[in-house]
Amino acid sequence: MPIRWYGSVNPSDSTYRHFERIVDFCIHTGVFAAINSGLWFAQNIHPLSCYLTSLTLGWTIGLLLHLLTVMSLQSKTDPNFKMLPNLN
């Protein structure tokens, strides 16, 4: 089922901007999974390059930085947002 925005499209709305960042992160994750799985599949059939591990590691770090950016920007726009649940 596709992700949809049911409110009015207002780029100045903080909730809309956060939703847009989440959608961008989902697209980034999907592209990462598709390309890396294809490259590793090709690597297992016929070894292509010794740089594939470095590429995957670098892209994984970039993906984690993207996730941290999405989470940190949400906490700035919504004062009630908690990154970690209260364990008390």
- In this predicted model, what pLDDT tens digit does every residue of 30-83 receive, in sequence order? 999 999 999 999 999 988 778 899 999 999 999 999 999 998 887 565 666 555
Single pTM value for the model? 0.77
Mean residue pLDDT across the chain: 83
Domain range for 42 is 14-71
**Domain-located, residue 66:** yes
Q: Is there a domain that residue 76 lies in?
A: no
78 in a structural domain: no
On whether residue 27 sits in a domain, the answer given is yes
In a domain, 54, yes or no: yes
Which stretches of 1-88 are DSSP H helices? 14-45, 52-77
Residues 52, 40 contacting (CB under 8 angstroms): yes
- Assigned domain for 32 exists: yes
C-alpha 27/C-alpha 65 separation (Å) is: 15
What is the tally of structural domains in the chain?
Answer: 1
CA neighbours within 13 Å on the CB side: how many for 32? 17
Given a cut of 90, is residue 4 above it in pLDDT? Answer: no
